[in-house]
Structure 1
């Protein structure tokens, strides 16, 4: 199976300071390095992994997902995913995140939940060589 593990959970928050404090003091995560996105947020780490991404500046979602933003999986087999998404008529967007050495593919499941597949290593490098666009929040366009 191409999914190798759950990578992180992204939660939208109304009060970043309160959420940072809760997830560090109550849950035991540690705030750490985060790429220079154009909206405020924090990445909370378990050991060396940023397992929780806190986000601000988002409007409530029309599909009523509450604070849940998306689920992300570390994966392999980028070409196979693209083929399966097209075969099933699923729209998707791809972005490079050069600072993290990764390539992202975003799409929605049948219930409207956003899913992110993360590719690293040669697959991410190849996608960048093929002209993958940089995430709009990293490029300053959002």
Structure 2
């Protein structure tokens, strides 16, 4: 008996297309999803036999009592994914006008980028800095990630 890994994360959305686009632009790919009777998508890592790690659903199953999906991550603070290409991701966020924050995990070679998906779900991309090009993450005020802070701005 034991935990063997992360199976998937499920995200509710009011805008399925924008959410799928956000994650596929980061490098995940759409994979086959069963017909649950409501709209959605399964996204996977681009690896041989990549597993569906993010499930997105919309429509009736995603709607709360107010008729729309909630924003933010509620009790879940963020989703963390490992990645490569720190500076390329940063450039992609800048070109797409997506706000981000940067961080170096103290005492490690771990570099991080924090962004929000269109639903206000905070995403942490974690990189092994030993394999990334300089410069290191910008830890200056306004650019450095501050735990517990929220820089999400809902898109209209």
- Structure with higher RCO (Cα < 8 A, 6+ apart): 1
TM-score range, shorter chain: 0.3 to 0.5
Q: TM-score, normalised to structure 2's length?
A: 0.40
Larger Rg: 2
Q: TM-score, normalised by structure 1?
A: 0.44
Q: Which has the higher helix share?
A: 1
